[in-house]
């Protein structure tokens, strides 16, 4: 056992991962800690860099995935190997200085939080990622019932008890923050420094934003189905009203507007149900959350 387990999902991070680990070791030298590196199908030589680090340092565990499963899946993999009292998730791009981990840990200790999210006074992300964050924040506020002023940062600290509950989820499309709010409401926040990206470019894309949005909508809430029911009820009221107006000779056309409207409602309802059924099918068909190729740890 140790105090902190630092999980780093690595994707094309060969140029930064060695320096990041060295700084982590320096900043956390007064704490007992472990570092869990999860290579998520990188296309550069990240795997070789991570393997070398794990071979040289006993506090490092390197997990090499067989393909790119996505950031949340890589983090879920890392959470399965946590031994510390708290798990800290941090990206490999240096935008979150390793020294800020101590702030999250102290906040959790002082106020007995299960989870502590970081937030930034001045975000240095690309404008598209900032826009995506606002969209996700709006969705999660209403779907997950999270506090409006809480920013769901990827840089966060999670208590081991909560980690053990989170990893029980075996869905192939996990959303870490959604799982957190299914487990606990004892959540705090801590202001930290956010730096500009020094090397490489962000992997955040419009398609990833859309995929995450769909995962949140159909994986962690029944609200879309309830909205579909509401749309169905409104369409019935609209249709009945239209029929009454036609019977009273207030309007002279009949058929086409109602048919078009009802077809639209039916198609939307079928699409929504299809999303839920599809996600359930993928989970029950055995689609893996992640597949490990190798694990390297110095004995």
- Domain of 196, CATH number, reads 3.90.550.10
Which of 3-17, 120-134, 283-297 comes out lowest in average pLDDT? 120-134
- For 264, the domain range is 223-284
Q: Tell me, yes or no, whether 217 lies in a domain.
A: no
Which of 39-53, 118-132, 156-170, 222-236 comes out lowest in average pLDDT? 118-132
Same domain? For 238 and 117 the reply is no
Same domain? For 192 and 72 the reply is yes
Share the mean pLDDT of the chain: 83
Q: How many domains does the chain have?
A: 2
| β-pair type (156-159, 60-65) | unpaired
Which of 88-97, 120-129, 174-183, 251-260 comes out lowest in average pLDDT? 120-129
Residues 6+ apart with CB under 8 A from 126: 202, 204
How big is the chain by its Cα radius of gyration, in Å? 23
SS3 call for 71: helix
Residues 70-74 have a mean pLDDT of: 93
Say what percent of the chain tops pLDDT 70: 78
């Amino acid at each position: 056992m140790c105090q902190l387990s630092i999980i780093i999902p690595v994707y094309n991070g060969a140029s930064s991962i060695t320096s990041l680990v060295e700084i982590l070791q320096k900043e956390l030298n007064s704490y007992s800690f472990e570092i869990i590196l999860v290579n998520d199908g990188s296309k550069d030589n990240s795997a070789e860099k991570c393997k070398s680090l794990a071979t040289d340092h006993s506090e490092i565990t390197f997990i090499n995935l067989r393909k790119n499963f996505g950031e949340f899946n890589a983090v879920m993999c890392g959470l399965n190997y946590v031994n510390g009292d708290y798990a800290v998730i941090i990206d490999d791009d240096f935008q979150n200085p390793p020294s800020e981990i101590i702030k999250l840990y102290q906040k959790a200790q002082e106020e007995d939080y299960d989870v502590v999210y970081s937030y930034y006074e001045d975000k240095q992300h690309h404008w598209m990622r900032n826009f995506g964050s606002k969209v996700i924040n709006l969705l999660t506020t209403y779907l997950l019932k999270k506090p409006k002023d809480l920013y769901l940062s990827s840089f966060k600290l999670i208590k081991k008890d909560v980690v053990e509950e989170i990893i029980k989820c075996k869905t192939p499309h996990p959303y870490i923050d959604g799982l957190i709010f299914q487990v606990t409401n004892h959540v705090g926040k801590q202001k930290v420094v956010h730096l500009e990206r020094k090397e490489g470019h962000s992997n955040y894309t419009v398609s990833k934003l859309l995929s995450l949005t769909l995962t949140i909508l159909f994986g962690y809430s029944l609200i879309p189905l309830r909205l579909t029911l509401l749309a169905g009820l409104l369409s019935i009221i609209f249709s009945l009203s239209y029929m009454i107006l036609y019977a009273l000779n207030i309007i002279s056309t009949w058929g086409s507007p109602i048919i078009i409207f009802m077809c639209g409602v039916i198609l939307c309802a079928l699409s929504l149900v299809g999303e839920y059924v599809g996600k359930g099918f993928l989970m029950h068909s055995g689609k893996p959350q992640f597949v490990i190729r190798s694990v390297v740890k110095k004995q």
